[in-house]
Amino acid sequence: MRRSSLIKLALPSKWWGISFIFILLLCYPRISFAEERNIQSYSRPFGLGLILGEPRAGLSGKYWTNSKNAIDFGLSWDFKRYLLVFADYLWHLRLRTQTEFFRQLAFYLGAGPVLAINGRRGDVLGLRIPLGVEWRPAFPIGIGVEIAPAIEIVPRFDLLFMWGVTARYYF
């Protein structure tokens, strides 16, 4: 019996490999904390857009508190099952490179609460740990991808897996 459409952490081996490579990229020595000169986000600190993935679709927002940190939030829904609300505090990392494209990438790691509101089966409260990358070209858009393992705490302990592709316009 399937409790929700969120993917359980019993992932196929290819997902473990992809997750491991992603974490290695985050830890690679050529990655540093974001530098003020490489980030356009602070001049336009608020972004609003869409997220598509698991759960299905929703609204996504991001507010840069400084050149290294941001608050990411979203409202997402699976049309027949539940409404998902989340907010994450993010730490950004940048590549040290001469290539303009790679300087426009911001890798991030974060943590924050997640709430799934489901009228029939009861509400779920947990903790998300998003890992992702966002591309910020010179014009005011951000396109990103993230994976977000989550720990369900209430009503019972469980492990979940979420992912999404985001597109935001920065004001």
Q: Note the pLDDT of residue 166.
A: 96
Q: Note the pLDDT of residue 37.
A: 42
Q: Rounded to two decimals, what is the model's pTM?
A: 0.75
Helix (H, G, I), strand (E, B) or coil at 15: helix
Q: Note the pLDDT of residue 1.
A: 39
- All domains of the chain, ordered by start, with CATH? 7-170 (2.40.160.20)
Locus of tokens 């910020």: 136
- For 61-81, letters b (16+ CB in 10 Å) and e give bbebeebbbbebbbebbbeeb
Low-confidence ranges of the chain (pLDDT < 70): 1-42, 119-120
Q: Is the CA virtual torsion 71, 144, 111, 48 positive or negative?
A: positive
Q: Note the pLDDT of residue 168.
A: 96
Q: Note the pLDDT of residue 24.
A: 57
